[in-house]
Structures are given as structure tokens and as C-alpha cells.
Amino acid sequence: MSTQPVDRRADEFFRALQRRDSSYEGIFVVGVRTTGIFCRPTCPARKPLRGNVEFFPSAHEALYAGFRPCLRCKPMNVGREVPALVEKLRRMVEEGQSDPLRERDLLRMGIEPSTARRQFQKYFGMSFHAYQRARRMGSALAAVRKGRNLLDTQLAHGFESSSGFREAFAKLFGTVPSKANGVHCLFARWIETPLGAILALANDSGLYVLDWVDRRGLEREILRLRHKTKFAIVPGDHVVLGQAAQEIGEYFAGERAAFTLPFAPRGTDFQRRVWDALLEIPPGETRSYAEIARQIGAPKAVRAVARANGDNFRGIVIPCHRVIGSDGSLTGYGGGLARKKWLLEHERSLVSRAA
């Protein structure tokens, strides 16, 4: 967490608070003098007046100042807490993918289906029904690839009719179950961090995407990726995703400054040259777009370098946040300038502690 005095950025932080800007998660917490409570930037509670708030760079500093944590947004939790209902249903899906939970099943458990749908949509960006379907079909694909009989797979994954199974399979994967060996998937995982959630997409070729779930352009990039590769995207586990979660966790814990993740081949030749140059920027240092352009032998392609930097979509691990303007300004960053500033200060702190 940055230790820079926050009073210089109080107006910026208050505007972020009014917008409930998720890119400021982990950057500050706000204390409300009239209630004695401190909150996250995204707290859903009614927003206080400007003169009644005080900003802190961490929850601990707010506690030391005499504020108590908000019970609604729970600012003491690192990252975003998984709602209890979402985690309960997710575990039930993982433990029994062959038995889809329908609305009547949820009602028998005392769960309102609309609540489950709304909470899943808010946390995962898809409804509970869509999550179940994706996991069931991903599991079915794995079973067919391992040589399991199609009828057995159909019945084991909750499909009573062969036509229903074929239709659902083809809708997600673009082909019939008998051609499963030709299907390619990207597995998706959300990774929680102190600055907000990150979406990771990977398969046996390596990491395709690792970026903030709220960054502008991410949804459009995923659609482009699906169109170009013809890959289906399903939630699930993969060794690359596990490695990504571990290394990102170590990075934010101050235990890692460099990454060893395998990258899937992506981008044009020019983009790859830019991304390779980004990987050569040491933690704790920055380079300008013009310096990157000269490094790759294209000194006049500064704007093209900036575009390639923005098209990275494997943030942090390919450190596009280490590129700044020639005048030293932070310039743009898809995850928001507040995050970019935090990451640079975090890495400088890592380097200074290691020295």
C-alpha cells in the first residue's frame, strides 16, 4: 500500500468515491466523521458530504485514527470477499456437476433463484444457470476426450436426451460431441487481489489474458479472441491458471517481482517486439514510449508502441504499467491511473527492500 500522503489527492479520491470507482480499490479507504465508520471506495451506502470525510491509504491507518470498519462493504477484507451464497453454490456445482440445480432445487434449499442469479451475475459476470452449464459442458468435453462413451457422458452430466446434449455441446463448442478431440478451450479464472479482481484465461498453450475485470476494452478483446481462435471459454481449473494465481498472490504479498508464467503466442510481430521490450524493464524502473520505440528499432513508431502497449491484456506479468510519457507523466493505463501509480510504488518498495 502506498504511503504517500493522501491529502494531496483528496479531491481525486472524493470524485472516485462518488463514482464508486472500482479501480481505486486498495488505493484508499474513506473515513466518515459523522458516523465514525470507514469504507471502501465502492461502498453502496449513501455518499457523505465532502467536508465530512477523511482519506487513508490503508484500513489499518483508518483504525488507528479511531474509525471502525463498515459492516456493508467490509474494508478489512483483502480483495473482494466471495459472497457466501455464491461460494456455497459454486462448491455444489463443483462437487456434483452431473446434477444441475434447478430453480425448484434452490427453493427447496431456501434460496431465492433471483438472488442466486443476481449475485452470480455481479461476481462472475454470468448467471448461476450459465455458470452451471459452462462447468457441466467443460467436464463433459474432458470426459469425451478421455474416451468415455457418449451416452454415458450424456447421462452422467444430467442430459436426458441425446439431442439435447448434442445441441448444448454444439452451441458452446461449435461442433458435435463425436468431434470433441478437435475442440479447443480457454479456461477462465477470477483472481482476487488487493486492487480488485483479475480475469485470467489460459490453456495448454499458455496464458492468453490476465487483466483487471473492470478494465475498459476487456470484453471487446475477449470477443476478438474468441472470433480469431474459435476457442470456447469455460470456467475451470488449469495448471497455468493455478500458477498465475500463486504468482500474482506472491507479487501482491511483496514476495515476488518477476514472473515465470508461460505465454500463449498472441499478437502481430510488431506487438510481440513491444511486449518483449516490456519484459526487459526491471521492476522499480520505467521507460518512455519513445525509449521502447528506439529499443525495438522503430524510433518513429511511438504511437504504434503506445497502441501495442494498450493491447497487451496480460497486465502486471507483461509490465505495460512501467511505460510512462517522455515528460515523466503516468499517461494512460487500462486498469486506471490509480492502480498504475500503486503498482509502480509497490515495485519500488520491493526493490528497495531487496537491496
Q: Check: CB of residue 157 under 8 Å from CB of residue 145.
A: no
Cα distances (Å, whole numbers) of residue 279 to 145, 200, 307: 36, 19, 17
CB-neighbour burial class of residue 180 (10 A; exposed 0-12, middle 13-18, buried 19+): buried
Residues 350 and 345: their CA atoms lie apart, in Å, by 9
Q: Check: CB of residue 256 under 8 Å from CB of residue 346.
A: no
Beta-carbon neighbour count of residue 99 at 10 Å? 15
C-alpha triplet 227, 233, 234: angle, nearest 5°: 165
Please indicate if the annotation marks 185 as binding a ligand: no
Q: Which residue is associated with the grid cell 510519457?
A: 325
Q: Which residues are catalytic?
A: 39, 320
- Binding-site residues for Zn(2+) sit at 39, 43, 70, 73
- Binding-site residues sit at 39, 43, 70, 73
